Amino acid sequence: MAHIPDGVLSAPVLVTGALVSVGLLTVALRRLDYERLPPAAVLSAAFFVSSLISVPMGPSSVHLLLNGLMGLLLGWTAIPAILVALILQAAFFGFGGLLVLGVNTMNLALPALFCALVLAPWLQRCPPARIPWIGFAAGALGVLFTGLLVALSLGLSGEAFVPAAKVMVLIYPPLALVEGLITATTIGFLWRVAPEMLTREDNPRV
């Protein structure tokens, strides 16, 4: 799953992941939107706890990732939120590890960033009835991209890529469906109770 433990990945992959994550984090901290820190804290806490609720599926077990939702709502602020939650998951629960923190952050943050930069602008433009669909797309794409990145990290580390990819193909689409539904529900709910969270004009542009 999304938390790759220590001792699985090869050094080049670890270094690449760490460099990419440090780069992303630097940009994110420069563009840090302080208005978004309270929602970032709430979503970071949700991300932190959601990893505990996992469902056995096939040869592995899955849990919600929420990175699509985080990207959609937080923009670049999602990156420190994900990093902090991952550090705490490694420290408190033993999920993932400290050496692979960079890779794990990259695998979750890049899809979140994709949602922030590609899907979030659509929230301003589309009719309100379509807003849950954007949520669905963000949730599902966040999961599928993360799955792809995890499979790539394993494959580039010399793990047998084909069985890993098979497991990913087996477990990620149902998870993407569930995650999409949950993100759609959340976004639809927020649109009704707090639309200012979605229509914020200060969406950081690249």
Partner 1 sequence: MSDPKPVTRAARRLLLLVTLMTAMPALAHKLKVFAFAEGERIQGSAYFAGGAKATGASILIQDADGHPLASLSPDGDGRFSYRALASIEHVVIARSDDGHRAEWRIAAADLAGAFPVVDRPAEASPPTSGTPDSSVRATSESADQRGSEDKPTRSLQSGDRALDPALVLFIEEAVARQVRPLREQLVAIDDRIRFQDVLGGIGYILGLTGLALWWRCRRTGRRTDRPR
Interface ranges with partner 1 (CB under 8 A): 1, 3-5, 7-8, 32, 34, 37-38, 40-41, 44-45, 48-49, 51-56, 58-64, 84-85, 88-89, 92-95, 150, 153-154, 159-160, 163-164, 166-168, 171, 182, 185-186, 188-189, 192-193
Max CA separation in the chain (angstroms) = 48
26 versus 118: smaller Cβ distance to partner 1: 26
26 versus 60: smaller Cβ distance to partner 1: 60
CB 164, min distance to partner 1, A: 5
Q: State the SS3 of the chain.
A: CCCCCCCCCCHHHHHHHHHHHHHHHHHHHHCCCHHHHHHHHHHHHHHHHHCCCEEEECCEEEECCCHHHHHHHHHHHHHHHHHHHHHHHHHHHCCCCCCCHHHHHHHHHHHHHHHHHHHHHHHHHCCHHHHHHHHHHHHHHHHHHHHHHHHHHHHHCCCCHHHHHHHHHHHHHHHHHHHHHHHHHHHHHHHHHCHHHCCCCCCCCC
CB 110, min distance to partner 1, A: 17
CB 191, min distance to partner 1, A: 9
118 versus 184: smaller Cβ distance to partner 1: 184
20 versus 166: smaller Cβ distance to partner 1: 166
CB 185, min distance to partner 1, A: 6
4 versus 118: smaller Cβ distance to partner 1: 4
CB 100, min distance to partner 1, A: 10
